[in-house]
């Protein structure tokens, strides 16, 4: 069977490694000239990325350990301590490690897919490639996803299920002049009008990754740097797209994985862990010759979490300044619960714990004038 993986990001490379382990040869094509570049990521991953994958991942890309977060709203804040909860990685190195031993075919950008008998012709800028099975690991703007939606629009035309929203994320790496930030604690700043949050991630050596996902990401980031008087040398700037929503995961002999499959946490935009775990499910389905089970396995693994995240995101994007402030105070008052239950990859866990507490549930309903208990169902 000719298998072609489009895209040599973490999801594509890890799928290729797993398929290799299961005895399948897969070609992997990549539009760029090397793996890992350009970087479009803040590089903060939960420890599960290194502790909970089928194939052990090299830890040589880890450059800092994170022991908690300072959660901020304007000039108010509270701290959540979680020793070793996450790592800051060198994302280029992370991707390159995942590609070790693979023969990535560089400079081959997928342009178009056409049906050919029971398989497909993948048209690239340099050659046409035949595939019995196509794996779309081509990231947020996946052309493979667009092809699936074109030939099977049952999702794309379904407003409730097929709605993918793309957000812009921008980040600066800054070597700060004054050492005023903690080197092991990330900062998360909530502000009205910003659909996610502003992050400050310590890399070490006084270098911080400061970024935001929002409609006016550059302006919001510059405004934040000004307000918090963060000065220093900007070493690097990056920008990228974060897809949030739901899509169809496969169609006939084409499957999506990673950002292409929108395997992204709706509340934070983080996609590395879900991308790796979805690669594991996909590789198992191919090994078992049960591609038709991929949808079900993915939904079983992440369906509830993604649905919860989408509902919580919708709610968060609708709340006003006063509600945001009061919700922040409610979270601050209950920081102990967050500290005890927070799970880097499964955000619903905190909400389940919080909503179990009748007083918090009552206060939350009052602040938001909504039945927040419905979030989880
Ligand atoms: C600003 C920003 C910050 C982020 N921060 C974090 C974070 O801290 N933690 C986290 O977990 N996630 C983060 N993410 C998300 C994370 O980067 C993605 O979830 C992750 O990269 C998805 O991996 P992937 O392999 O699915 O896709 P990608 O990493 O996007 O890889 C796709 C690959 O396919 C290639 N490709 C694309 N189109 C074609 C084509 N037509 N033909 C051939 N090749 C093609 C690309 O060149 C690329 O190599 C962030 C994203 C952004 C934008």
User: Given this model, what pLDDT does residue 358 score?
Assistant: 81
Closest atom, ligand 1, to C-alpha of 44: 8
pLDDT band per the 50, 70, 90 thresholds, residue 72: very high
Is pLDDT at 159 greater than 70 in this prediction?
no
Ligand 1 binding site (Cβ under 6 Å of any ligand atom): 6-12, 29-32, 40-45, 109-110, 137-139, 143, 169, 171, 211, 240-242, 258-260, 264, 269-273, 275
Q: Could you report the per-residue pLDDT of 343-360, keeping only the tens digit for each?
A: 888 877 877 777 778 888
Q: Would residue 315 be called left, alpha or beta, if left means φ above 0 and alpha means ψ between -120 and 50 degrees?
A: alpha
* Element (DSSP H or E) covering residue 88: strand 76-89
Q: Which residues of 281-315 are buried (b: 16+ CB within 10 A; e: fewer)?
A: bbbbbbeeeebeebbebbeebbeebbbbbbbbbeb
User: Given this model, what pLDDT does residue 150 score?
Assistant: 84
Mean pLDDT of 66-77: 94
> Other CB atoms closer than 10 Å to residue 75's CB: what's the count?
7
373 vs 176 pLDDT, higher one: 176
Distances (CA, A) of 230 to 48, 192, 203, 208, 276: 31, 20, 15, 10, 34
Mutate which of 138, 194, 273 for ligand 1 pocket (most atoms within 8 A of beta carbon)? 138
User: Given this model, what pLDDT does residue 257 score?
Assistant: 98
Q: Range(s) for CATH 3.30.9.10 in the chain?
A: 165-242
Mean pLDDT of 348-374: 77
User: Given this model, what pLDDT does residue 155 score?
Assistant: 61
DSSP state letters, 180-226: -S-SS-EEEEE-TT-SS-EEEEEEETTEEEEEEESTTHHHHHHHHHH
User: Given this model, what pLDDT does residue 132 score?
Assistant: 98
Superfamily of domain 3-35+99-163+246-289: FAD/NAD(P)-binding domain (3.50.50.60)
Is pLDDT at 24 greater than 80 in this prediction?
yes
Write a three-state SS string for 283-329. HHHHHCCCHHHHHHHHHHHHHHHHHHHHHHHHHHHHCCHHHHHHHHH
Mean pLDDT of 5-34: 98
Q: How close is the Cα of 32 to the center of ligand 1, in Å?
A: 13
pLDDT band per the 50, 70, 90 thresholds, residue 362: confident
| 165-242: CATH number | 3.30.9.10
Q: Range(s) for CATH 3.50.50.60 in the chain?
A: 3-35+99-163+246-289
Is pLDDT at 1 greater than 70 in this prediction?
yes
pLDDT band per the 50, 70, 90 thresholds, residue 158: low
Mutate which of 4, 39, 42, 85 for ligand 1 pocket (most atoms within 8 A of beta carbon)? 42
Three-state SS for 175? strand
Average pLDDT, the chain: 92
User: Given this model, what pLDDT does residue 151 score?
Assistant: 84
Mean pLDDT of 194-214: 94
Please, is 250 exposed, middle or buried when counting C-beta atoms within 10 Å of its C-beta (0-12, 13-18, 19+)?
Answer: buried
Q: How close is the Cα of 324 to the center of ligand 1, in Å?
A: 30
């Amino acid at each position: 069977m000719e298998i072609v993986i489009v895209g040599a990001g973490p999801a594509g490379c890890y799928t290729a490694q797993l398929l290799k382990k299961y005895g399948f040869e897969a070609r992997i094509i990549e539009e760029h000239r090397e793996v890992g570049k350009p970087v479009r990521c803040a590089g903060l991953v939960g420890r599960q990325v290194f502790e909970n994958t089928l194939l052990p991942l090299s830890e040589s890309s880890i450059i800092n350990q994170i022991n908690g977060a300072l959660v901020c709203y304007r000039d108010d804040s509270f701290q959540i301590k979680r020793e070793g909860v996450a790592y800051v990685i060198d994302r280029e190195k992370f991707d390159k490690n995942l590609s070790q031993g693979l023969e990535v075919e560089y400079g081959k950008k997928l342009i178009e897919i056409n049906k050919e008998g029971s398989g497909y012709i993948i048209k690239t800028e340099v050659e046409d490639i035949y595939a019995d099975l196509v794996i779309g690991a081509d990231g947020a703007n996946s052309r493979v996803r667009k092809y699936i939606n074109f030939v099977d629009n049952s999702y794309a035309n379904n407003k409730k299920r097929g709605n993918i929203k793309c957000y812009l994320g921008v980040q600066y790496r800054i070597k700060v002049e004054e050492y005023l930030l903690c080197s092991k604690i990330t900062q998360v700043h909530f502000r009205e009008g910003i659909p996610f949050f502003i992050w400050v991630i310590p890399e070490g050596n006084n270098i911080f990754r400061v970024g935001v996902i929002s409609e006016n990401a550059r302006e919001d980031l510059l405004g934040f740097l000004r307000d918090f008087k963060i000065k220093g040398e900007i070493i690097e700037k990056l920008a990228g797209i974060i897809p949030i929503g739901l899509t169809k995961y496969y169609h006939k002999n084409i499957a999506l994985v990673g950002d292409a499959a929108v395997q992204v946490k709706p509340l934070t935009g983080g996609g590395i862990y879900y991308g790796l775990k979805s690669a594991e499910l996909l590789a198992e389905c191919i090994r078992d010759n049960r591609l038709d089970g991929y949808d079900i396995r993915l939904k079983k693994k992440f369906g509830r979490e993604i649905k919860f995240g989408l509902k919580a995101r919708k709610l968060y994007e609708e709340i006003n300044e006063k509600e945001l402030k009061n919700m922040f105070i409610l979270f601050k008052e209950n920081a102990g619960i967050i500290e005890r239950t927070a799970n880097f990859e499964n955000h619903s866990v905190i909400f389940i714990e919080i909503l179990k507490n009748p007083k918090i549930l009552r206060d939350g309903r009052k602040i938001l004038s909504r039945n927040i208990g419905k979030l989880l169902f």
